[in-house]
A = this chain, B = another copy of it.
Amino acid sequence: MGDRTILKHQVCFSLYAASRAATAVYRPLLAQLGLTYPQYLLMLLLWERDGVSVKELGEELELDSGTLSPLLKRLEAAGFLERRRQLEDERKLQVHLTARGEELRSQAEQIPQQIARAAGLSAADLAQLNETLAKVTGALHAALTPNAALTPNAAPNSLTASMKEHS
């Protein structure tokens, strides 16, 4: 880690670097399944809730249609899913697993343990880090809402509380 500089003190850079490092650890494992990391996240949702709509996928992944549409097209081209217009409401597109998409599930189930082992983190460590990050994200999203200026202390407190749990 060569950053003896200003970057070391930027929390946003740390998040950015950590996220890319984590994705890099997943990459070789997911490549064996023919998936990228965003594609893997989408498949995780689909394995849990087949037939989900694009809108619901977007809410869970925090991605818009501009990202999801081409992503779904690539997964459909790879044979892992199918997209069907919902009959009752033809605006909605339902995403369904194919047999090939189902098959992938068993192989993918080993991945979380492989990642945890690669990073050498205990389940407790992972859960704790995960919880803290979820609260950071919540605080940051709250800062983006239109009324953020009106309630400047709402989100921060939840993060502060979360971090104090560790001290």
Q: What is the oligomeric copy number?
A: 2
For A140, the closest partner residue in chain B by CB is: B21
Using a Cβ–Cβ cut-off of 8 Å, how many residues does chain A contribute to the interface with B? 73
Q: Measuring CB to CB, which residues of chain A are less than 8 angstroms from any residue of chain B?
A: 1-3, 5-26, 37, 41, 44-45, 47-49, 59-62, 112, 115, 117-122, 125-130, 132-134, 136-141, 143-144, 148, 152-153, 155-157, 159-160, 163, 165-167
Most B CB contacts (10 A, CB to CB) among A1, A26, A153 go to A1
Would you call A11 and B17 a contact (CB within 8 A)?
Answer: no
For A1, the closest partner residue in chain B by CB is: B138
A14 to chain B, nearest CB (A): 4
